[in-house]
Amino acid sequence: MKLNSSLVWLRRDLRVFDHAALSQALQNSALVHCVFIYDSTILAGLPRRDRRVDFIHASIAEVAQELRQLGGHLIVRHADPATEIPALAAELGVDAVYCNHDYEPQAIARDDAVGRALQADGRRFFSCKDQVVFEKSEVLSQTGGVFSVYTPYKNAWLKKLEADPSVLAPWQVEPYAAHLAPPPPGDAALPTLAELGFEPSNLAELKIPTGMSGAAALFEDFLPRLAGYKQARDFPAVKGPSYLSMHLRFGTLSVRHLVRTVLDLTARGAGGEGAAVWLAELIWREFYAMILFHNPHVVGGAYKPAYDAIQWETGPEADELFATWCEGRTGYPLVDAAMAQLNRTGYMHNRLRMVSACFLIKDLGIDWRRGEAYFALHLNDFDLASNNGGWQWASSSGCDAQPYFRIFNPVTQSEKFDSEGKFIRRYLPALKDLGDKEIHAPWLVPRMLPLDYPEPIVMHDEARKRTLERYAVVKKI
């Protein structure tokens, strides 16, 4: 197939290397235009200072610069892509539009609408696999069923990769760059944040690396720490994670490159125990993407529908409890420090995501969907599949979730994973003078003067009993 011209629609794949849609368009077309659309239907619901918009804005500037160096250019619009993509395709007179798959229900509906509009105009629509190694129904059980438990999925994923390592081959762009459409005369400048209706966030202050170069730098920084990842990943005061989740979310790096690198290090005996554990985390990401694709009802409902029968706390008192959790005023230092980290930086350590979610659900009795929505608004790396999967895991309503009777004790979690209180002191300066043992449960510390820190809003042992009663409706599942 050879097309006269095509349009590549960038979405959550903000890079110009190892890019499936761009590579395939360049190989199959004489001329290729590229576009990114700031989706007005999404941006309208965001706060005016949003780190994610800031991140995208900086990353798009780097994409535009890289395309220009290759001889092409990037068209940038602020509109509803469902109507703008067909309109732009008509304006450019292209034969086809290329993009990479998105697995979220709303995105699938949007892409279906775009595809129908393009077909009505006599144009073609091609969608490619790019943000995961294996997608949709590529990893199935031996009986052809969809997995609902992670470990057998992971084993089947690894077996499939071993059988066909070619899936990790990079999608080349530079060898075909001559097919990029050159910049038009008077090529328009990229829109500013202000023109998009936004203000600068604290992204720069937090020194969060952006774009392809930022992703590459973070990965290079992580590789020397990869071998120790298994031990370091659970401790929020330690530099253990890769910090690549935001880059994976927006596609400023290639997951194929990550997996190739890890497997190469493992083959050379340089990955240590951490390499397999980190690869398993990447597979979790694909597991949740697969679950969302096959079970779109998890958006707004429990993976196990029977769990929707649970009666959560409601009314003004529940609203106050929820606000207290959001603001990090629960009286449990590890939970409050975690929420402070999220509110100030847009990042939360994975161990703390589990602890804070479990506290909201099983100590406060608040519907997991309220916490899921709060994380969705504040997380820099918000991904619907992973965020939903994590919250359903914590609430015991999801696939392969923790048992309903497994209820994290926020004090023992603090003592185990922040034993010296380093993380707590970083985000809760009011507790900085407490000892390493005292800091995990400051209400137990006798004081001559009141501590500028709230008392616990619930007592864990009592809350645990209420949770077991609340979950009695599903205990036979």
Whether 474 shows a pLDDT value over 90: the answer reads no
The SS3 call for residue 359 is: helix
- How much is the average pLDDT of 200-204? 96
- How much is the average pLDDT of 177-199? 93
For residue 36, the cross-strand partners are 10, 76
For residue 6, the cross-strand partners are 32, 96
pLDDT band, residue 477 (cuts 50/70/90): low
- Return the axis-axis angle of helices 350-358 and 384-395, rounded to nearest 10°: 50
Please name the residues in contact with 311: beta carbons below 8 A apart, sequence gap of 6 or more.
470, 473
Burial (CB count within 10 angstroms: exposed 0-12, middle 13-18, buried 19+), residue 36: buried
Beta strand segments in 14-55, E: 29-39
CA distance 297 to 215: 33
What confidence score (pLDDT) does residue 401 get?
Answer: 78
Whether 186 shows a pLDDT value over 90: the answer reads no
What confidence score (pLDDT) does residue 406 get?
Answer: 87
Torsion of CA 6, 11, 15, 19, to 10 degrees: -60
Catalytic residues: 281, 284, 312, 350, 368, 391
pLDDT band, residue 403 (cuts 50/70/90): confident
- How much is the average pLDDT of 281-287? 98
Tokens of 416: 């185990």
| Single pTM value for the model | 0.96
3-state helix, strand, coil in the chain (%, to 5): 55, 10, 40
CA distance 216 to 261: 12
Q: pLDDT tens for residues 372-389?
A: 999 999 999 999 999 999
What confidence score (pLDDT) does residue 476 get?
Answer: 60
Please name the residues in contact with 455: beta carbons below 8 A apart, sequence gap of 6 or more.
331, 443
Q: pLDDT tens for residues 148-182?
A: 999 999 999 999 999 999 999 999 999 999 999 99
CA distance 252 to 425: 33
CA distance 340 to 320: 18
Whether 448 shows a pLDDT value over 80: the answer reads no
DSSP 180: B
Q: pLDDT tens for residues 217-258?
A: 999 999 999 999 999 999 999 999 999 999 999 999 999 999
In the chain the domains, ranked by start, together with CATH numbers, are 3-130 (3.40.50.620), 134-168+212-294 (1.25.40.80), 305-474 (1.10.579.10)
Whether 398 shows a pLDDT value over 80: the answer reads yes
Instruction: Report the sign of the C-alpha dihedral through residues 131, 136, 137, 141, in that order.
Output: positive
Residue whose token pair is 């500028």: 452
CA distance 195 to 40: 12
